[in-house]
Chain A
Amino acid sequence: MMSSTEHNYETKSYDVIVIGAGGAGLRAAIEASAQGASVALVTKSLLGKAHTVMAEGGMAAALGNLDAADGWVPHFKDSIRGGKYMNNWRMAQIHAEEAPERVKELELWGAVFDRTPDGRILQRAFGGHTYRRLAHVGDRTGLELIRTLQDKGIHSGIDVFMECTVTNLLEENGQVSGAFGYWRESGRFILFKGKSIVMASGGIGKAFEVTSNSWEYTGDGQAMAMAIGAELIDMEFLQFHPTGMVCPASVKGILVTEAVRGEGGKLTNALGERFMKNYDPERMELSTRDIVAKAIYAEVRDGRGSPNGGVFLDISHRGADYIKRKLPSMYHQFLELGDVDITKGPMEVGPTMHYTMGGIRVNPETQESPTVKGLFAAGECSGGMHGANRLGGNSLSDLIVFGRRAGLYAAEFAKQQTEMLPIDNEKVKGYAQALVEPFERKGTETPYPIHAELQHLMHTKVGIVREEKFLKEAIAELAVLRERAKKARVDGSRAYNPGWHLAHDLINMIDASEIVAKAALQREDSRGGHTRLDFNFSDDKVWRHRTSVASRATDGTLTVSYFDKPQMPKELVALFDKAEEKTAFETEGKF
């Protein structure tokens, strides 16, 4: 058996290395392969298990199958308004323009969407979308997306590395040269030499106590990219999904799809009042997620919550047959995990950490990092598309639109490289040494309690509402947690050792958490997924025009500053009439 400190590694070479096999990673890999590149798709989990499978409601694309008036312009405007005008306008435009083609492509590859009565793709209403726009399959659209791409991918000549964790990116003079990591099964090391890298590693939700995210969401991509000079933007904007399960405690945070509201679900407080009329009387339950989440937060805070600290969401008026057909997983989830029959009565729901709007800064056309050549990013780990708040349904379409672009341009970049960059073996040995070092530690503490404390800290002090005092405390406490994490003990061997895996992932989560806290402290403003009790208004003069940007300084410290947002061209600005914009701003500040 291999000793736990052995440093040997195998080496593989590919044109394009895709890290992460969710919707964005798979789509990128398929595209890069279609361009003739040799592609490695590396995933921490088994293929088809990515967090994308948990997406429920649908993917937004202005197909106009039900509402002929829909098109890329209304979708673009909805995304910008939902994002509180913080989106990278070009990404929002590309997304709205290309989403319909990408959705049709899925159908071509075997996706089976719910149908309209005349046999086309059915679309459903969702929060913040003016028209019925979400192509969907009941309440398991993410699974459909993953399975379709998976079945396409395995026939596309991609080499898939399952249960293989990438821990470090390699670069030479500001250009990527490869990636280093380990097989989870054996703990053996592996080096990928590559001409370009697509990061598609998802979000950071596992740094939070109440989250709908799977264990993979540990901020690996963000941390690795920063380590070789990439920047993160908009990291203060976190989406708390308004409806997660709250009871029993062990399922707290599990997602209750927005489709429940899309299909007509009503939110009520302990007094039986449809409280959304006090927050967004026009859109009511179909308001954007940031507003509904903060409304629920305010109801509970002011003593009008349900017995278990949430509010009530009731869909039972739609009838048992309809619910079982359109929301089957919700029906079973509540029946089996919560002892509640949602066809007969209301569910208790409350906000849960759901999505990271911010992420790796990329060129909106090519998805390439402006600071690291050959590094591309797509999906949740990239930033800019969703601004301060993502609309429901825009994530799945984001994955396929920008996943494809990332794969396309990564393959093009690889084609332009005549040969692989050299790998610095000493550096690789250093990474290997750092990975096995935890086995030599003699501390008493394992990584598990540190992770639990991190989650609690982020939930209470960098959560749905924030204040300077708590953010400063959080930053100080994160430094302490980081020191403890560096000393955490690892037992056993390198073979499939979750304690060892967590010891490494924990540092990534702390990196990401520190940036969220620092960016949140910097932004003296409330909008979308960032609410400051001490700055409980939208400062449109200053902060509407600033994007936060984080990077790792040469001494290793994480710093956050800001830059001026790119200006939207006049012809696009002209699409927004003033009255509408005013309303969008006014919704802020009511909390």
Chain B
Amino acid sequence: MMMIVSDAHTNRVANFHVFRGNPDENGEHIGEVVNYEVPLKPGWVVLDAIHWIQANKQPDLAVRWNCKAAKCGSCSAEINGLPSLMCKTRLDHMPADKPIIVKPMKTFPLIKDLVTDVSWNYEVNKKIQPFTPANSNVDTWRYFQQDADRVQEFRKCIECFICQDTCHVLRHHSKFDKFFGPRFMIRLAQLEFHPLDVADRLKFIKEEAGIGFCNITKCCTDRCPEQIRITDNGIIPLKERVVDRFYDPITMLLNKIGLG
């Protein structure tokens, strides 16, 4: 039955340490962390507190958000160091006595305050060959839920880019020119696994998308707010397909003689 949301430690004042700043010419995050005291209400998420700060303390505090229901993936930020959706991070699950740190996604160039420039992701998506069916007569198409399930898991992605932010290949090593990042690995996986797609993207996955740069440390999966098993269900199966094509001599031989 119902759980009553406890008022005991939600009607309290919390300190929010919010990053405020502007980028330098390289998009580096230059700014300071500002403390705001916010009176909390039961059931609040971090985004509620940010809105309270806008309405009561800092009307020009920049934050990107749309739906406040964990469906659009706009309000990604780093809360107490962990890349998260602000609309989904409950405050009554956090320690009452410690400040709550809210910073923009570190991997992307800063625009202002909590807003970062994620346009690189949109450029990457353009490079990927879209869905390519063998015939365009949809009325003849038949495929089954068992096949759709695998694809649909990846299509749950709300493009919050938290996986891209968390991925150390981008976050620490800035391999933006060599590696597409987890979000586009599952975009590729979704196209490759589609039962009716006939395009071959394996060479592209290896050479352009740079799947070899992923060292499967799984932070993308750990942080995905949609609980997509990015690494186990997306990247590793793609790595195995790349092995089939480019590394495994036996499979390569079998493929050559048509037994693969």
A-side residues, CB < 8 A to B, are 45-51, 53-54, 104-105, 107-110, 112-115, 117-120, 122, 137-138, 140, 143-144, 147, 151-152, 154-155, 160, 162, 185, 212, 214-216, 247-251, 254-255, 307, 328-329, 332-333, 336-340, 344-346, 348, 446-449, 452, 489-493, 495-500
Contact = CB atoms under 8 A, between A and B. Distances in A.
A152 B126 CA distance: 10
A385 B133 CA distance: 33
B152 interface: yes
Contacts of A498: 54, 59-63
Contacts of A255: 69
Contacts of A497: 60, 62
Given A112-B151, A493-B60, A215 B66 contact: yes
B138 to A, nearest CB: 4
Nearest to B187: A151
A339 B3 contact: yes
A112 B148 contact: yes
A249 B72 CA distance: 21
B22 A495 contact: yes
A250 B41 CA distance: 8
A151 B69 contact: no
A320 to B, nearest CB: 16
Contact of A496 (B41, B111, B131): B111
Interface in B143-161: 143-145, 148, 151-152, 155-159
A144 B71 CA distance: 12
B67 interface: yes
Contacts of A160: 122
Nearest to A113: B148
A114 B41 CA distance: 39
B124 to A, nearest CB: 11
Contacts, number: 187
A107 B144 contact: no
B203 interface: no
Contact of B55 (A46, A47, A446): A446
B115 A337 contact: no
A452 B52 CA distance: 12
Contacts of A251: 43, 69
Interface string B31-51: 000000000011111001000
Nearest to A347: B2
A219 to B, nearest CB: 16
Contacts of A49: 66-67, 72-74, 159
Given A110-B130, A490-B59, 14 more contacts: A51-B67, A54-B72, A109-B130, A109-B131, A112-B155, A143-B156, A151-B125, A185-B117, A248-B42, A248-B44, A250-B42, A336-B88, A338-B43, A491-B58
A47 B143 contact: no
B68 interface: yes
A124 to B, nearest CB: 14
Nearest to A47: B122
Given A154-B122, A337-B43, A115 B143 contact: yes
Contacts of A344: 1
26 contacts: A46-B64, A49-B66, A49-B73, A53-B67, A54-B69, A109-B131, A114-B152, A117-B144, A118-B142, A137-B155, A143-B158, A147-B155, A185-B115, A214-B68, A247-B5, A248-B44, A332-B70, A333-B70, A336-B70, A336-B90, A339-B5, A340-B2, A448-B55, A449-B55, A452-B55, A499-B60
B138 A45 contact: no
Given A185-B111, A337-B88, A114 B148 contact: yes
B106 to A, nearest CB: 18
A446 B90 CA distance: 27
Interface string B112-125: 11010111001001
A108 B130 contact: no
B118 A46 contact: yes
A115 B72 CA distance: 25
Contacts of A104: 138-139
A315 to B, nearest CB: 14
Contacts of B55: 446, 448-449, 452
B175 to A, nearest CB: 23
A492 B112 CA distance: 12
Given A112-B151, A337-B88, A499-B60, A215 B65 contact: yes
B194 interface: yes
Contact of B144 (A119, A247, A346): A119
A249 B66 contact: no
Contact of B90 (A47, A51, A337, A448): A337
Nearest to B115: A496
A499 B59 contact: yes
A107 B138 contact: yes
A254 B70 CA distance: 10
